[in-house]
Amino acid sequence: MKLLYALLLAFVPMVSLRAALPPEVTITKPTKFEILRDGIVSGSFELSPGKKLEVVDLVDDYLLVRYRNANGRVLPANTDLPPQAMDEEMGQAKSGAPRPSAGRAANAMERALAGKLVHLEGGSLRPFDRKQLGGVKFYALYFSASWCGPCRAFTPRLVEAYARIRELYPEFEVVLVNHDQSPREMEDYMRGDAMQWPALGWTTIASAGEINSYGGDGIPDLVLVDENGRVLSDSYRHGNFVGPSAVLNDIWKILREYREQNPRT
């Protein structure tokens, strides 16, 4: 049991273990085993039918498992996972137990970011608990890098504004999309400028096509989108660069209008 809980911590963000899951499953068809490090996919290899995997948890569309010395995930459909275990995940078990709120992303942006975020914790980057995105309706995607002079000039302004905005509007979040040359540079940048918001994990940036599609031709680039991914304000407008400060001004205006229509209780 101690081993399972240790593995569970290595896979955050995730929901808790459920009794309906078996201790192990067997691969029934050729499948890709995606290796997870700190909750981020870092590689993969093929598994042939007959291989046995230790079960850790069931999160989103994946079964979190351990194979030999590797932590990873596979598709449940490629294993002999009992159907009732899937029913439990979908909140359809016969017991009628409610489905965990963290079991599946609630909107388009949560789905696009699920399993990809990290944040500073204890001075280093750790997986970001996606439950903290619950209720977020506005995302400011910040394309930036430590080597970019204009970025270094604007980031302290965004850090200061972020603290005030989050206090007034918990429905808002910033996500860093880093353009540095190494994960160490990214971590140093976030730590040095005291960024309290989450960021795309280094190994997920290149493959996060949906998020990268919001970026313009240069940085700094700040893009405000709603929970469904609709662009509300952009540093690039009609082919012209207006800068992140213009978007920051729009953020305040849009959030004030939102609060007028949706008073806090």
Same domain, 65 and 120: no
Asked whether residue 95 is assigned to any structural domain, the reply reads no
Same domain, 242 and 141: yes
- What pLDDT is recorded for position 53? 92
Contact partners, residue 57, CB within 8 Å, separation at least 6 = 8, 11, 14, 15, 16, 17, 18, 21, 63, 64
Confidence of residue 87 (pLDDT cuts 50, 70, 90): low
Tally of domains in the chain = 2
Same domain, 249 and 127: yes
Same domain, 39 and 115: no
Same domain, 139 and 240: yes
| Mean pLDDT value across residues 229-254 | 96
- What pLDDT is recorded for position 85? 61
Full domain range(s) for residue 191: 108-261
User: What is the Cα–Cα distance from 211 to 231, expressed in whole angstroms?
Assistant: 12
Asked whether residue 133 is assigned to any structural domain, the reply reads yes
Asked whether residue 101 is assigned to any structural domain, the reply reads no
* Whether the predicted pLDDT of 98 surpasses 70: no
Same domain, 124 and 222: yes
Asked whether residue 253 is assigned to any structural domain, the reply reads yes
Asked whether residue 94 is assigned to any structural domain, the reply reads no
Same domain, 249 and 132: yes
- What pLDDT is recorded for position 218? 95
Same domain, 17 and 113: no
Same domain, 48 and 135: no
- What pLDDT is recorded for position 36? 83
Cis preceding linkage at 156, omega within 30? no
Same domain, 252 and 134: yes
Same domain, 55 and 150: no
* Whether the predicted pLDDT of 10 surpasses 70: no
Tokens of 33: 């085993």
Contact partners, residue 183, CB within 8 Å, separation at least 6 = 125, 202, 203
Task: Judge contact between 205 and 212, C-beta under 8 A.
Answer: yes
Q: Looking at 33, 62, 89, which one is the last position of a domain?
A: 89
Confidence of residue 23 (pLDDT cuts 50, 70, 90): confident
Asked whether residue 7 is assigned to any structural domain, the reply reads yes
Tokens of 199: 């960021």
pLDDT in tens, 128-171: 987 888 899 999 999 999 999 999 999 999 999 999 999 999 99
Q: Looking at 23, 57, 89, which one is the last position of a domain?
A: 89
Closest CA to 187 of 38, 6, 35: 38
Buried b (16+ CB within 10 A) or exposed e, 157-188: ebeebbeebeeebebbbbbbbbbbeeeebbbe
More confident site: 67 or 3: 67
Task: Judge contact between 205 and 141, C-beta under 8 A.
Answer: no
Q: How many CB atoms lie within 10 A of CB 133?
A: 23
Asked whether residue 39 is assigned to any structural domain, the reply reads yes
Confidence of residue 84 (pLDDT cuts 50, 70, 90): low
- What pLDDT is recorded for position 137? 96
Confidence of residue 7 (pLDDT cuts 50, 70, 90): very low
Tell me the CATH number at 221. Answer: 3.40.30.10
Rounded to 5°, the CA angle 250-179-128 comes to 75
User: What is the Cα–Cα distance from 254 to 245, expressed in whole angstroms?
Assistant: 14
Q: Looking at 25, 54, 89, which one is the last position of a domain?
A: 89
Asked whether residue 75 is assigned to any structural domain, the reply reads yes
